[in-house]
Structure formats: structure tokens, C-alpha cells
């Protein structure tokens, strides 16, 4: 029964490595989505729209109180890869699952998107990560992440050849927080840069920036980040400048490609010193904002890899984000290639 078996899965089948557009390192997470209301958020002191890490006990408490849920593979960088793969890019993923049922679900789903995923699952008592996502009627998502096996991704799990084979190494900021994956990501950066590859990084969330601001600024100062994804709050927090334009200009001076999204106010990119702006794509109804930033990054990167102009990169980013917030879950439901074809018709 493979990934659905009660028995532990010892050998996840592997795609063979090949030359990739993007290899990403990120949390291997299954999202558990349920409708919620403001009262439930208040009762559990949850900040709407935010992400918090939770321990096993809190995960159990929240889950017990949550409504009937839907399980869909997630993880920020993995969502971005799903978008990139849907747009025809060749991708690989590195992330840690447990050899339990949810680990099998995660592995199945990312491979079903055509993404190479060969990181061996671990056995043991630490289960595959899951994110309990409470979606309020306004479409906002409040994420509660139990990192589980994901936080124990060891440097030894990296496939250096796979990293060297990819044009871009994409790193998820969330995974900078736990110690082992942080060390693995530092090693991956070195491997990629030694091979002449570019490094993309997403800041992920203010809590990560608060804990690792010095690290992030140091990576940027050393010129180790070629492409930086952020949202308005994150870029302001990173340089502790409350003026968005000034914050963007400050960081852009040190990063060849800087992208910052502003929800319904569109997005800004600064590429080699030139600033570009684009409005958000229109959405009939915002159902669930989970994955909006992840899919914006996917659309932008896909167009960027294709050599399109920055305005078009922003447009495809906005279109991919619009698709993802129009339904439940952070994996594309509509053919993104069709969306791209219409956009550039």
C-alpha cells in the first residue's frame, strides 16, 4: 500500500536526477485546512493572518477543537515548486518527511506534479510535519505549524549533484529557524555558488526575521542571495525601516533581483537597480489566501527563467497568486500554463 500503508515505508521510489531549473529546500508539510471563525482564533490567542510554530500538545488541542478538515500537501517552497512545475519548469525538492501516511501523501503529491523528490524518509516517533490552517470567512488564513520531521533535515540528506544540476537554488526562510536544516541550507548555498548557480531566498515570515535578522543581513551583505522574495511587512522588518520604498531601496542595493508583494496593492520588483510595479490580479472571491506568496514567487520565477521582462514576471506572479487564493489549499487547481497563455496572448 506504499504511502497509505500502516506498515512503515522503507524505500520511497526515486526519480533519477537530471538538469533542473530550480532545486528547493523547504518544509515538507501537509496542510490541514478547516473553516473557522474569529471567536475560535480569540479563544486560542491566535493572530489572524500569521504563522506560529506549535508543539505537539498545542497541535493536539487545536486539532481537537477544529472543524472537519481537508488535507492537502503544502509547505511554502514545495508550493512554489508545484507552481513552477505546473508552468513547465523542471524542479527538485529537498525536505524531510517521516515514513508515515502523511509523509507518503506529501511525497506522492509533489512527485505527481513532476517534481524530483529523493530525500529519504526517516523512521521513528517524529511524524511528518503538518500545518493546521484556520480559514476565516474573510479568506484570511491563520497557520499553526507543527514542524515534526521537517525540522530534522540533516546536511547528510542533501544531494550535492542535484543541487549543482539546478540553475537556481531556492531556500525557504521558515526552515532557517531549526538548527539542522539551517546548517544544511548553508552547505547547499556553498555547493550552489561553487557550481556557479544562483541562490533565491524567501523571507517567509516576520517571526523568522526577528530571530535571524543578523544571519539574513549577513547573507545579503556577502552577496550570497541573488533573488529575494518578501512581502511588505517582511522587507520593512528586515532592515527595520518603516517606509516601504526606503526599505526596498536599501535591500535592492545589495540584491540583484528583489521582489516584494503587497497583497491587494500589487507587487514591486527591483532588478539591477530599476524599480518595477504591478497591480494585483483581480479575483472574483478570495476563498483562502494560503499560498498566495508562494505562488507569486512561482509565477515570477517561471517568467524570469524564460527570460521575460520584469513587468511580465510580476504579471505572471500576480496571476498565479490570484489562482491560488480563489480556492482552498496552496496547490494550483487550474492549469497555470493556460493562465500564462491568456495573460501573454
Q: Are 181 and 34 in contact (CB under 8 A)?
A: no
Q: How far apart are CA 158 and CA 339, in angstroms?
A: 34
Q: How far is the CB of 9 from its own copies (least distance, A)?
A: 11
Q: How far is the CB of 29 from its own copies (least distance, A)?
A: 12
Is the CB of 115 or the CB of 247 nearer to its own copies?
Answer: 115
Q: How far apart are CA 109 and CA 24, in angstroms?
A: 16
Q: How far apart are CA 249 and CA 223, in angstroms?
A: 16
Contacting residue, 41, 98, 199, 339, with its own copies by CB under 8 A: 98
Residue 71 interacting with its own copies (CB under 8 A)? yes
Contacting residue, 42, 124, 265, 344, with its own copies by CB under 8 A: 124
- Burial per residue of 211-237, b for 16 or more beta-carbon CB atoms within 10 angstroms, e otherwise: ebeeebbebbeeebbbbbbbbbbbbbb
Contacting residue, 12, 22, 77, 102, with its own copies by CB under 8 A: 102
Q: What is the dihedral of CA 143, 286, 299, 163, to 10 degrees?
A: 20
Within 139-198, the residues that bind its own copies by CB under 8 A are 146
Contacting residue, 82, 134, 305, 320, with its own copies by CB under 8 A: 82
Burial of 184 (0-12, 13-18, 19+ CB in 10 A): buried
Q: How far is the CB of 24 from its own copies (least distance, A)?
A: 16
Stretch that binds its own copies, among 53-61, 204-212, 276-284, 301-309 (CB under 8 A): 53-61
- β-strands 198-202, 166-172 pairing: parallel
Residue 64 interacting with its own copies (CB under 8 A)? yes
Q: How far apart are CA 2 and CA 310, in angstroms?
A: 43
| Chain residues in the site for its own copies (CB under 8 A) | 1-7, 13, 32, 34, 56, 59-60, 63-64, 66-73, 82, 98, 100-102, 105, 108-110, 112-113, 124-127, 130, 146, 329, 331
Amino acid at each position: 500500500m506504499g504511502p497509505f500503508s500502516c506498515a512503515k515505508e522503507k524505500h520511497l521510489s526515486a526519480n533519477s536526477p537530471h538538469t533542473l531549473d530550480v532545486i528547493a529546500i523547504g518544509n515538507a508539510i501537509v496542510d490541514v485546512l478547516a473553516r473557522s471563525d474569529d471567536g475560535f482564533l480569540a479563544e486560542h490567542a491566535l493572530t489572524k493572518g500569521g504563522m506560529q510554530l506549535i508543539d505537539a500538545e498545542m497541535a493536539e488541542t487545536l486539532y481537537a477543537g477544529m472543524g472537519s478538515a481537508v488535507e492537502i500537501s503544502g509547505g511554502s517552497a514545495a508550493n512554489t515548486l508545484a507552481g513552477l512545475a505546473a508552468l513547465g519548469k523542471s524542479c527538485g525538492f529537498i525536505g524531510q518527511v517521516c515514513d508515515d501516511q502523511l509523509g507518503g501523501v506529501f511525497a506522492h503529491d509533489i512527485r505527481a506534479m513532476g517534481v524530483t523528490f529523493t530525500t529519504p524518509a526517516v523512521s521513528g516517533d517524529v511524524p511528518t510535519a503538518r500545518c493546521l490552517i484556520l480559514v476565516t470567512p474573510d479568506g484570511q488564513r491563520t497557520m499553526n505549524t507543527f514542524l515534526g520531521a521537517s525540522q530534522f533535515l540533516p546536511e547528510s540528506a542533501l544531494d550535492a549533484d542535484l543541487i549543482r544540476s539546478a540553475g537556481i537554488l531556492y531556500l525557504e526562510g521558515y526552515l532557517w529557524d531549526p538548527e539542522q536544516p539551517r546548517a544544511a541550507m548553508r552547505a547547499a548555498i556553498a555547493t550552489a555558488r561553487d557550481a556557479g548557480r544562483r541562490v533565491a531566498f524567501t523571507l517567509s515570515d516576520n517571526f523568522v526575521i526577528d530571530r535571524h535578522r543578523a544571519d539574513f543581513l549577513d547573507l545579503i551583505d556577502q552577496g550570497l542571495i541573488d533573488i529575494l522574495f518578501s512581502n511588505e511587512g517582511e522587507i520593512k522588518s528586515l532592515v527595520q525601516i518603516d517606509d516601504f520604498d526606503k526599505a526596498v531601496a536599501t535591500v535592492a542595493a545589495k540584491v540583484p533581483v528583489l521582489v516584494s508583494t503587497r497583497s491587494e496593492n500589487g507587487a514591486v520588483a527591483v532588478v539591477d537597480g530599476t524599480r518595477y510595479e504591478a497591480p494585483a490580479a483581480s479575483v472574483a472571491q478570495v476563498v483562502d489566501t494560503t499560498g498566495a506568496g508562494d505562488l507569486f514567487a512561482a509565477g515570477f520565477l517561471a517568467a524570469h527563467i524564460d527570460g521575460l521582462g520584469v513587468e511580465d514576471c510580476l504579471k505572471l506572479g500576480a496571476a498565479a497568486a490570484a489562482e491560488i487564493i480563489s480556492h482552498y489549499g496552496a496547490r494550483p487547481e487550474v492549469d497555470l500554463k493556460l493562465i500564462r497563455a491568456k495573460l501573454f496572448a
